[in-house]
Amino acid sequence: MAVRSLFKNTVVVPQDHQSLRREVLDDFEQAGIGWIWASDAEGQLIYLSEKAIEWLGVEGSALIGQPLVSLFAIDKDNPDERHDRPLNFQLSARSRLSNLVVRFNSPSGQPRWWSLCGHPKIDEEGEFHGYRGSARDVTEEFRQKLEDTRAAEFDSLTGLANRHRMERRLDSTLAAYKSAKRSCALMMLDLDKFKYVNDTMGHPAGDDLLRQVGERLRAVISNRGEIGRLGGDEFQVILPDVDDRGELGDLADKIIQMLSSPYQVEGKRAIIGASVGISIAPYDGLERGELTRSADLALYAAKNGGRGMYRFYSAELKDVEQERQVMLDDLREAMEKNQLSLHYQPVVRTSDNAVVGFEGLMRWEHPEKGNIPPMHFIPVAEDSDLINRLGEWAIRRACEDALQWPETVRVAVNVSAKQFANRGFLAIITQALADTGIDPDRLELELTETVFLGDIEATEKTFAALKQLGVRLALDDFGTGYSSLSYLRSAPFDKLKVDKSFVDSCTQKDQNSAKIISAIIGLSDALGMDVTVEGVEAFDQFNLVCEKGAQYIQGWIYSKARPQSEILEEIAGGGYAIEPDGPDTYRPERRSVFRRIGVIHDDHRYDAVMRDLSTTGSRIEGLVGVPVGTGLVLDLGGGQLVVCEVRRSKDATIGVEFETPLISDGAGGLCTRYRVSPYVLASAGMPLTSLPPGNYPSAMLGDGPKSQPQFMQVSVQRN
Give the Cα-Cα-Cα angle 95, 101, 104 (nearest 5 degrees): 105
Residue 574: CB atoms within 10 A of its CB come to 7
Residue 2: CB atoms within 10 A of its CB come to 7
pLDDT band for 192, please (50, 70, 90 cuts): confident
Q: How far apart are CA 282 and CA 690, in angstroms?
A: 6
Are the CB atoms for 434 and 406 separated by under 8 Å? no
Average pLDDT, integer, range 567-588: 81
DSSP one-letter string for 520-531: HHHHHHHHT-EE
In the chain, count H helices and then E strands. Answer: 23, 35
Average pLDDT, integer, range 619-632: 93
| Superfamily of segment(s) 2-145 | PAS domain (3.30.450.20)
How would you label 319-348 residue by residue, b for 16+ Cβ within 10 Å and e otherwise?
ebeebbeebbebbeebbeeebbebbbbbbb
**Over the Cα atoms of the chain, what is R_g?**
35
Choices 3.30.720, 3.10.120, 2.40.10, 3.30.930: CATH for 591-713: 2.40.10
Q: What is the pLDDT of residue 574?
A: 65
Ranges of each domain in the chain: 2-145, 154-313, 339-496+549-572, 591-713
Lowest-confidence segment of 242-251, 374-383, 460-469, 627-636 by average pLDDT: 374-383
Q: What is the pLDDT of residue 418?
A: 84
**Helical residues (DSSP H) of 154-287, grouped into ranges:** 163-180, 194-201, 203-221, 245-259
Q: How far apart are CA 294 and CA 456, in angstroms?
A: 35
pLDDT tens-digit map of 315-362: 777 656 677 788 889 999 999 988 899 999 999 999 999 999 999 999
Class of 154-313 per CATH? alpha beta
Q: What is the pLDDT of residue 632?
A: 93
Nearest to 271 by CA among 463, 452, 482: 452
DSSP one-letter string for 565-606: HHHHHHHHTT--B------SS--PPPEEEEEEEEEEETTEEE
Q: How far apart are CA 127 and CA 451, in angstroms?
A: 80
Q: How far apart are CA 568 and CA 557, in angstroms?
A: 20
Q: What is the pLDDT of residue 682?
A: 61
Residue 412: CB atoms within 10 A of its CB come to 27
480 — phi, psi (to 5°)? -90, -20
CA 522 vs. chain centroid, Å, equals: 33
Helix axes 374-382, 320-336, angle to 10 degrees: 90
Looking at every residue in the chain, the average pLDDT score rounds to 84
Share of the chain above pLDDT 70, in %: 84
Residue 48: CB atoms within 10 A of its CB come to 19
| Superfamily of segment(s) 339-496+549-572 | EAL domain (3.20.20.450)
pLDDT band for 495, please (50, 70, 90 cuts): very high
pTM: 0.60
